[in-house]
Homo-oligomer: A and B are copies of this chain.
Amino acid sequence: MRRMFLPTSRDQALAMDVADDLAGFREEFSLPDGIVYLDGNSLGPLPTRTLTRVQEVVAREWGEDLIRSWTANGWMDLPATVGRAIAPLIGARPDEVVVADSTSVNLFKLLAAVLRMRPGRRTILSERENFPTDLYMAQGLVDLLGAGAELRLVNRSELSGALDEGVAVLALTHVDFRTGECHDMAALTAAAHRVGALVLWDLSHSAGALPVDLNGCAADLGVGCGYKFLNGGPGAPAYAFVAGRLQAELQSPLWGWLGHAEPFAFSDRYVPAPGIACLLCGTPPILSLTALACGVEMVGRAGLERIRRKSLALGGLFIGLVERECGEYGYDLASPRDEARRGAQVSFRHPEGGAIMGALDRAGVVGDFRPPDLLRFGFSPLFLRFVDVWDAVATLRRVSEERFSRHR
């Protein structure tokens, strides 16, 4: 493992920012004063340009151009346009990604589709620790289809062993929302393919934070949300990926008019659009989609290699400083120390985690607590500085000192 430089003064952390080739991106965000925001993995902050652009879409495109905007201002194509912009961030071809609905709804579409593409196989395989909505959507589908399907949940370490000829699809979240641990996408995809199963990757905690190479891993299907590392705004629409080789046989169960081959023919019989567009359903929320477009553009411009490098550096710095400065307070690293297996968040366990996170929050360090004991910190590198990590750990140390000396 690479040995990390650990600054011993705030000035040294500031010097790291001076040397940071992504530092300029911070100016493209509107951030509140006095806050270290380590929750970009839950809701990315506001790109300043988004405010201008949303205003423009509301005032000019909606207000002035009205209904014409569906064609004249490209609203109709926006799900495909933004999908094309997301594609290179996840290792997909431009015609393999579309923006539609929510991650949950896209999961339903793809899971239902895959059960039909693998007749005779009834199992959706996942892990118990998968993101809850991923499990729920699969449970709902199984419940709807009755004898047609089952959801089998195993522990993470048992996944490879659980792959058998009955598995239609292995459905996993690439980066674990609790620990930030990455699955080995290439290895698990290959393992699933060896038994003839397809693989569906939820990239909600990956896209925009680290390079994802869906096609390089020969992945089949993918979904993800727009409001975390893509900085697309609260409840930003989600996206879906279908490998080109599968598009001809994939059929969404949600036959909305925008997924029709000719939406404006208003025929009474559904004919799915060719390609990825068949995953479109109802009319997309243009204002939210506009904000997503801005966030995606910025990530594309910054480049994922640089983003990944800085994010790992920020996370590694955080781990190193917490262990050096707060070692005596019992914070237990829940994330992989190995960079190759760690996403863009770092989690620590602490029995008093809820109270500690509350105190951090009051002191201006915003992270996120998951009961019973998990403190999560996101390292979204387009707006975070190395000095922010320094300050966050200094705050954690002060908060810990106060709490544990008070308790003595």
Contact A233 B39 (CB under 8 A): no
Q: Does A45 contact B (CB under 8 A)?
A: yes
Indicate if A96 sits at the interface (CB-CB under 8 A): no
**A287 lies within 8 A of B253 (CB):** no
Smallest beta-carbon distance A306→chain B, Å: 24
Q: Are A233 and B286 in contact (CB under 8 A)?
A: yes
A225 at the interface (CB under 8 A from B): yes
When C-beta atoms are compared, the residue in chain B nearest to A130 turns out to be B268
Residue of B with least CB distance to A46: B63
Q: Which chain A residues (29-85) contact chain B, with CB distance < 8 Å?
A: 30-32, 35, 37, 39, 42-43, 45-46, 50-51, 54-55, 58-59, 62-70, 75
For residue A101, CB closer than 8 A to chain B, the reply is yes
CB neighbours of A67 from chain B (8 A): 39, 42-43, 366, 368
Q: Is the beta-carbon distance between B62 and A234 smaller than 8 angstroms? A: yes
| B235 in contact with A32 (CB, 8 Å) | no
Q: CB-CB < 8 A to A227: which residues of B?
A: 283
Number of identical protomers? 2
Is B46's CB under 8 angstroms from A256's CB? no
Given contacts A51-B59, A268-B153, contact A257 B136 (CB under 8 A): yes
Contact, CB under 8 Å: A140 / B252: yes
The answer to whether A66 and B54 have CB atoms under 8 Å apart is no
* A5 close to chain B: CB less than 8 A: no
Cβ-defined contact, A253 with B286, below 8 A: no
Are A102 and B281 neighbours in the complex by a CB distance under 8 Å?
yes
Q: In this assembly, does A205 line the interface, its C-beta being within 8 Å of a C-beta of chain B?
A: no
| Complex interface: chain B residues within 8 A of A141 (CB) | 253
Closest to A178 in B: B266
Q: How far is the CA of A128 from the CA of B282 in the complex (A)?
A: 20
For the complex, count residues of A whose C-beta is within 8 A of B. 80
Please measure, in the bound complex, the distance between the C-alpha atom of A62 and the C-alpha atom of B282, giving whole angstroms. Answer: 26
In-complex Cβ contact of A139 among B144, B236, B269 (8 A): B269
Instruction: Judge whether B285 and A254 touch: CB under 8 Å.
Output: no
Verify if A104 is at the interface (C-beta below 8 Å from B): yes
- Return A48 CB to nearest CB of chain B, in Å: 9
| A64/B136 in contact, CB under 8 A | no
Closest chain B residue, CB of each to CB of A285: B288
Q: Is the CB of B133 within 8 A of A257?
A: yes
Q: Could you say which of B45, B63, B108, B153 contacts A30, with CB atoms under 8 Å apart?
A: B63
Contacts of A140 in B (CB 8 A): 252-255, 270
Identify which of B54, B101, B260 contacts A105 (C-beta below 8 A): B101
The digit string for A183-210, where 1 denotes a CB below 8 A from any CB of B, is 0000000000000000000000000000
CA–CA, A269 to B141, complex, Å?
13
Q: Is there a chain B Cβ closer than 8 Å to A137's Cβ? A: yes
Q: Does A343 make an interface contact (CB < 8 A)? A: no
Q: A119-154: which residues lie under 8 A (CB-CB) from chain B?
A: 128, 130, 132-133, 135-137, 139-141, 143-145, 153
The answer, yes or no, to whether A370 is at the interface (CB within 8 Å) is yes
- Residues on B with beta carbons closer than 8 Å to the beta carbon of A235: 75, 282-287, 289
Q: Hey, which chain B residues are within 8 Å of A102, CB to CB?
A: 101, 256, 281-283
- CB <8 Å contact, B64 and A32: yes
In A86-109, the 8 Å CB interface with B consists of 101-105, 108
Q: Is the C-beta of A291 less than 8 angstroms from some C-beta in chain B?
A: yes
Q: What are some 9 contacts across the A-B interface (CB < 8 A)?
A: A30-B59, A43-B66, A67-B368, A75-B235, A105-B105, A132-B257, A132-B266, A234-B283, A235-B282
New A-B pairs, 10, CB < 8 Å, besides A140-B254, A287-B291: A30-B64, A37-B66, A43-B62, A75-B234, A75-B235, A132-B267, A143-B255, A144-B253, A237-B285, A287-B287
